[in-house]
Amino acid sequence: MTYTGIKPDTRFEKISGLHPCFGAKANMTRGRVHLPVSPSCNIQCRFCRRCFNKSEQRPGVTSRLLTPEQAAELLDKALAICPEITVAGIAGPGDTLATPHALETFRLIHRKHPEIINCLSTNGLLLERFAHELMDAGVRTITVTVNAVDAEVLCQICSQTVLDGRLYTGVKAADLLIRAQMRGIRKAAGLGAVVKINTVLIPGINDYHISEIARTTAELGASLINIIPLIPQYEFSDHEAPTCTQLNEARKAAEEFLPVFRHCRHCRADACGIPGLSDLSFLLFEGDKTMEETFSHG
């Protein structure tokens, strides 16, 4: 079944032609650079294992951390290497709103490169709190990872949430995160951001729940959804990744309510280039001898 809901608005239509993570055509013609400036996270998902290396091709991995100033300088280098870059994204390796570094980076970029689309990926816990500041910093596209809209489901995926110095666990942590995500998505979309939902498909846990996630977030103003297959690791290392059939069924379920992005490549937090063609991060960090040896899992 194809998407039968309200047609995407003009904001989404324009963005999908420029942002390689929001449109199929742009995925093969436009570039993006991920700037790894966010060191820690304020939730803990059972499938998330963040680390430093140069080999793994997945979220949560980077070769090093950058300061906001270093990230702004690296963008200039990335544009020289890949003039097709239209997007400066921050997707970790921790959560982008758990520390102030992402906002500081976007402010620097927006002043120097107002033509660049600033893109943020977040778990959404603090999205409502910082939505106005993000828009002022030139952020126009926001990806929120929503793995369930039912606390009984999410507590099987997310083990803890930390908000304002207080630790929450179990169903209470899950309910707190879901409510924050819903408020944040509504606020960001209302302010004019194009919001994409990322959902990690975990067979046996949230596979039956995908249509409800899509329906709920569509009602809040999301424009697009991306169903990502689980990478079995960390506490979920004994879980099986979804099959192609399971992934296709989940996408069809979501597509009843939102357009589905089908070209995700599990990008690193320091990826660079045109996603559908090649990764140029090895050129971006070429000659860089610095390497962070410790990392806060927050």
Q: Is 298 part of a structural domain of the chain?
A: no
**Paired strand residues for 213:** none
In a domain, 1, yes or no: no
Asked whether residue 244 is domain-assigned, the answer is yes
Measured CA to CA in angstroms, residue 116 lies from 30, 49, 75, 218 at distances of 12, 30, 10, 26
The interaxial angle of helices 170-190 and 127-136, nearest 10 deg, is: 30
| d(C-alpha 249, C-alpha 50), whole Å | 29
Confidence of residue 297 (pLDDT cuts 50, 70, 90): very low
Domain membership of residue 294 (yes or no) is no
- Does residue 47 fall inside a structural domain? yes
pLDDT per position as a tens digit, 40-96:
899 999 887 765 545 555 555 566 788 999 999 989 988 888 888 888 989 878 899
**Would you place residue 30 in the very low, low, confident or very high pLDDT band (cuts 50, 70, 90)?**
confident
Measure the CA–CA gap between 133 and 65, rounded to whole angstroms: 23
Q: What is the CATH number of the domain that holds 129?
A: 3.20.20.70
Q: Is 20 exposed, middle or buried (0-12, 13-18, 19+ CB in 10 A)?
A: buried
On whether residue 35 sits in a domain, the answer given is: yes
Helix or strand holding residue 93 (H, E): none
What single letter denotes the amino acid at residue 57?
Q
Whether the predicted pLDDT of 295 surpasses 60: no
Could you give the CA distance from residue 59 to residue 187 in angstroms, rounded to a whole number? 26
Does residue 113 belong to any structural domain of this protein? yes
Residue 162 structural domain: 10-284
pLDDT at 55: 52
Model-level pTM?
0.86
Domain count, the chain: 1
Residue 291: per-residue pLDDT: 38
Tokens standing for residue 214? 């899509």
Q: Is 31 helix (H, G, I), strand (E, B) or coil?
A: strand
- Residue 17 falls within a domain, yes or no? yes
